[in-house]
Each structure stands twice: as C-alpha cells, then as structure tokens.
Structure 1
C-alpha cells in the first residue's frame, strides 16, 4: 500500500509564485490542498482543509504572515508553519519563530530542500538550526529576554539537554529516540518536561529560550 502524500496549503499574495510552488511540490509528490493570497483567507482555507503543513509568505498586503501566525494560535488551528520568503531579515525571523513558525526558508531553496523541509515539519520536526545564523544568535542573546524570568532555565538534566539539542536540529521524537537509543515514549516525556522547565509553549519556543539562556552551543 502506498503512503498518503503530505498535504500543504500555500499562502502567498503573488499568483505566479503560488502556481510555481504548487507545480514544484506536485513533482515531489506533495499534495497542495489549498491556496490563499493573504492571512484572512488562509485561516479559512486551513480550517477547511486541515493540511499537514502551511507554506507561508511573510510580506503580504492587508493580513501578513505575522498576523496569520498569531491568529492561527488564537483560532487554535494547530498546524506546522514553514515560512517561505524572499526576506532574509533577522527581525522577521525572530518574530516569525516567536509567533509559532516551525521553520524558515528563503525562496531560492532547491526543490529537494523544500521537499525535505515539508516532510520534516509534517513529521513533527523543526528547521531552527539551519535557519539561525551567527548574527541571529548574537541578536537573540543581546536583547532582553521575552520569556518569564521566574521560570528557571538552568535545571535541565544532561539527558534533557541531549534531547533539546536534537530538537534544535529538527529531529522529531522518533528520530531522537533512534539517535539516543531510547523508547519514543521516553523521548516524548523528556520533551514535555523540557517545555515545562523552560516555560515554553512548544518546541520552537523552547529552542528560542535555550538560545537566550546559552544552553545550546
């Protein structure tokens, strides 16, 4: 029996860009189940189609990518978001990650890179490590922390730090379990504990906090 293709929704204000991405994804056996030209339309399409991954542009008229990310959370539409944009801007990267994006790629990526990214997010992984440059790390560490200072971030065990580093590399629970020779359920428990200790709402937020605290080198 063949596996079910990963499904995506493309959100971009340019028709030609959406059609081009659709054509490329279809070559990679990824199913495009919807398109939208701004954030307001995207919310309705995502709610109606429940895709595995959303490909989201940041710069759009009216309701942009950051608005879309924020309102996905408000409407409790739990879907991984891969930001796909032409803007290599540190501030935009940080804001997108803080608003819940699980990955960030520029539009000059190859089809293979895009395919890998979509499958990584669909499997529960992230694309934090490849997307964070040295200058972005410096920006994260030099600015005031947006996280609750009352939540301790220094009491992670050695095993939890190992798991967190692999989360930052984009591995999902199954891949982490294989890398560390643990049961997948054990990894899931470790991730839950890490989120609790770091006061993070999700894996991406946990990695951002860990970067702020200097836990990831």
Structure 2
C-alpha cells in the first residue's frame, strides 16, 4: 500500500461528495481517486486504478441506501468505511460488512486514520456507534516490543489526530526536541517506519481507539 490511501468517495448527495473530497484534501494520508453516486459505485471501483478503500456516506436518512451498500460489499473486496448520522442504524450497517464506521461529523484526521487502518485489515468503529465496548481488531494481533509510558501514550493519541511534532510539543507544553524524542521512541517500540504505520500498529494492538 502507498503512504496515501487511494479512496473512492460514494454519496448520493453531490454536495456531500464535494465536502468529503475537500475534507480529505486537508490530510496527507489520503488521495481521492474518484467521487460517485451509489449507482456508479461498482463501475467506478472497477474502472479506477488502484482504489484501496471506499468512503461511503449514507446521508442523513440511510434506510434507503443500505441495500446499495450491502450489494457493493458483497461484490467487492475493497474495504468500506461508512459514515452514519443515526446511531440506531449502526447495527444494520455493521452487519452489512463495513470495515469502518464513523459519524458524519468525523474530523479529517479521523477519516484518514480509519481509511489507513482498514487497508491494513483492521476493523474500526466509533465507540459512540456501538452498544458495547469500542472495537478495533485484526488478526494477527500486533503488540509493541516494549510497553509505552504514560507520556508516550499521550503523544501517540496526538499522533493519531494528525498533529505534527511542533503541535504535539505545544499541546503538551514541552520542547520540540522532547516531542521528537517521544515520537522516535514510539516508532522504535512499535517497530514502525513511519508515523502512519505507528498509528495503525497502535490501533491493531488496542492502544488507541477512535
């Protein structure tokens, strides 16, 4: 997988598609490969080269859109992250086989992190859309080489939000050098080569949940 996930945006509302594309353009972890309505989703998934994930907006009234989502998932192996407005329908959407489930109000960095995660075979659900405890699982489970300190876990959560070293330093009230030291320590302990890989491995190990 490339560092930036090639993502197909699916939404019936063209304004929603444009809004999601603009939101994802703010992140370094995602490239929008295309924007289509539900009826064009299957054709686009076949036609577009290298689509790695699908971001599917179910709109404000998703009842009538679930069948299209189910048909797509049954026909394609490409992981789908669904955006949902009504928590009451979360169970039905999860049962459809989505790999990620977030609220329609999710921030750009959350969208990017989950799109990255599902490409690595993770399942990531917003805890507010679950009746039980938060879920972020995959097999096999990856554990850090060494346990992270409390401060490193703080830094890790800020990494997951997409903050730079300078922004992490400001948020924690430490120097840029100290922030960089913690980031490097996290990468070493998780055996990660990049910040993105560190976040993905941390979610896989259950260290952080969105």
Distance 1:31 1:120, change over 3 A: same
Distance 1:48 1:129, change over 3 A: same
| Count of residue pairs brought into register by the alignment | 143
Aligned residue for 1:7, secondary structure, equals strand
- How far is 1:7 from its partner? 0.8
- The Cα offsets for residues 64-106 of structure 1, whole Å up to 9 and x where unpaired, read as 532223212442x101111113x2232x211111111112111
Structure 1 unaligned regions, length at least 5: 138-164, 182-217
Matches within 5 A, 1:116-135: 116-128=113-125, 130-133=127-130
Q: In the aligned structure 2, how far is the partner of 1:55 from the partner of 1:21?
A: 9
- How far is 1:121 from its partner? 1.1
- Aligned equivalent of 1:147: none
- Aligned equivalent of 2:46: 47
- How far is 1:129 from its partner? 6.2
TM-score (norm: length of structure 1): 0.56
- The Cα offsets for residues 21-44 of structure 1, whole Å up to 9 and x where unpaired, read as 112212213111111122x21111
Aligned residue for 1:35, secondary structure, equals strand
- Aligned equivalent of 2:143: 178
- Aligned equivalent of 2:188: none
Q: In the aligned structure 1, how far is the partner of 2:110 from the partner of 2:3?
A: 20
Structure 2 unaligned regions, length at least 5: 147-210
Q: In the aligned structure 1, how far is the partner of 2:69 from the partner of 2:60?
A: 13
Q: Is the Cα contact below 8 Å between 1:8 and 1:51 reproduced in 2?
A: yes
Q: In the aligned structure 2, how far is the partner of 1:14 from the partner of 1:129?
A: 23
Distance 1:67 1:180, change over 3 A: farther
TM-score (norm: length of structure 2): 0.58
Q: Is the Cα contact below 8 Å between 1:6 and 1:119 reproduced in 2?
A: yes
- Aligned equivalent of 1:190: none
- Aligned equivalent of 2:87: 89
- How far is 1:131 from its partner? 4.6
> Could you say which structure has the higher strand fraction?
2
Matches within 5 A, 1:10-89: 10-29=9-28, 30-38=30-38, 40-49=39-48, 50-59=50-59, 64-75=64-75, 77-85=76-84, 87-89=85-87
Q: Is the Cα contact below 8 Å between 1:42 and 1:68 reproduced in 2?
A: no
- How far is 1:177 from its partner? 2.5
